[in-house]
A and B are shown apart, each in its own frame.
Chain A
Amino acid sequence: AQKVTQAQTEISVVEKEDVTLDCVYETRDTTYYLFWYKQPPSGELVFLIRRNSFDEQNEISGRYSWNFQKSTSSFNFTITASQVVDSAVYFCALRLLSGYSTLTFGKGTMLLVSP
């Protein structure tokens, strides 16, 4: 069975600091997708990014960047120059490509950005 671990339960930073959220996954499958979702204080879940296991290129979107390393089974998320609006719970998730697999979520990391 697959598993996603987000070892950081809560991270606190001051605005403008850079912060990295860790995600480590376990699966015996060689083909899969990885996802990050954001849950702001308002409660909704917002899709941020997906990455397939064939593509280890890092991705940057504005202040957000993602580092996928298959060798260490990690898919880490970095926020550069954090802002108060980045305060949220962030979830990493895994979906296998075999059959009709569903999402396996990590337990989430709560990020608190103070002014």
Chain B
Amino acid sequence: DTEVTQTPKHLVMGMTNKKSLKCEQHMGHRAMYWYKQKAKKPPELMFVYSYEKLSINESVPSRFSPECPNSSLLNLHLHALQPEDSALYLCASSQGAENIQYFGAGTRLSVL
């Protein structure tokens, strides 16, 4: 099983809403990532968890709050987002020195 599952596939939220994105993998990978991807751009790294501890935070605004409840799950909590936060949010996982990343299909987020 080389699948990373993200839910929901689509999300529309207002600027005052609170929502969460979910990511799950069962490959035993110990590193998990959140990326933000705008149209026609490469993915931008937001957060990395390694062994369930936050390893990298790329100076992401506090309205994005990651959580890693266990080695298979990764959440991204959203609160008071701005319209410019509308994007495709990708989750990935990896294992080993080569850092080959396996990506989910993403959540398409629209902030109104």
Question: Do A and B belong to a common assembly?
Answer: no
